[in-house]
Structure 1
Amino acid sequence: MAENELGIEDVRAQLGDLVDDAHYEGTITHITRRGRRLASIVPAGVKAASLPDEAIDAAFDAAWPGLPEGISLGEARRRVIAALNAAYPHMIVPSEPQALPDVDRLKQVSESLEKQINEGAFSPEQTERMRKAVEDLAETIRKTRVQMTHQQIVTKAVKEEGGVWDATRTVTTLGLAGHGVDDKRARAVLRRIAATGILTRTSQTRAIYETTEK
């Protein structure tokens, strides 16, 4: 689960994009003021409500003596739950990351099988098995593309295809990979890719980028 940390002024300017990152990609953004974390933007499914009530009560009882004098019970509980919201993702033991299949290699194998089938290289029984193998490869390619993040998918396309990129082309690229997004999300993806240096914005008024020549 990706995480980042931003000052409160930067968050105000990017709030919509940060919420999209949380929703679409599970990114957690910690909001800071003068280097001190104040709150976090987390995906809706990652919240203290996922913990048993007794765990929240235990956290509240433990935190109560250290909270400021005169604070109301409601405000105290709100603060404890906000802290648990931020801490909850770190309570989960991360699983070993699973390497995604090489989509390009799968496509090469699929195309090779298709060519041999069309040329009659197999017996009828073998042809049936090979067609099933091609179908299975197509499904694996589809699932792999869906598992890739928006930025990974578009970055891969930018490197392979080059040229000019805008929101429309980005929406189309993500749509072909099984991700339905709107223009706003597409522009956010392009901004993030441009920050890595492989795209350069060519218009001050429109989200149009060109591949950086290196």
Structure 2
Amino acid sequence: MKENELGIEEVRAQIGDLVDDAHYEGTITHITRRGRRLASIVPAGMKAASIPDEAIDAAFDAAWPGLPEGVTVGEARRRVIAALNAAYPHMLVRSEPEVLPDLDRLKEVRASIEKQLTEGALSPEQTDRMRQAATKLAETIRETRVRMTHQQIVTKAVKEEGGTWDAARTVTTLGLAGHAVDDKRARAVLRRIAATGLLTRTSQTRAIYDTTEK
């Protein structure tokens, strides 16, 4: 999980982005005054690292179709959430070759669920839960593909065009490619690209980046 330190005046100037970083990427920002840590902006709760509820539910249903003796539903969910929370920040800036095997594994899990459904060996309650899990896994796979596509489109544009990038330019670039996104998604795309070293943030108060290489 990423951690950084900022002086209290810098934090005041970019509090919105820092809160987004905590909620969507699991980033912890330590607030300092004269070099001494005073407080920290941290993700709220175990679902902090931008893991959608549907992804947690899908992971839980796939990992725990039946609970071992002595493991409650609450404990099982806590284990799943803790594992996803630990893994998610490391997935945010991974390249396509690194992410594709994970997508393939998700597809295998979904195929396994579908196989169990077609065999008809489940109770009605289990069938309903497994159908929901399959649907949520499909949505997780689709959403991951969309995020990868957005990052690929903007990365290509940054390499070809260079210059300064902000949310508005990113929204326009994705719009021209047929993808309608809001400013929040655009800022997330820029953060992921900056984490690869292609962009460097140049403003303490706004999400503005300059190209560092072409």
- Which TM-score band applies after superposition, normalised by the shorter structure? 0.3 to 0.5
- Report which of the two structures shows the higher radius of gyration computed on alpha carbons: 1
Higher relative contact order structure (alpha carbons within 8 Å, sequence separation ≥ 6): 2
Q: Normalization by structure 1: what TM-score? A: 0.44
Q: Normalization by structure 2: what TM-score? A: 0.44
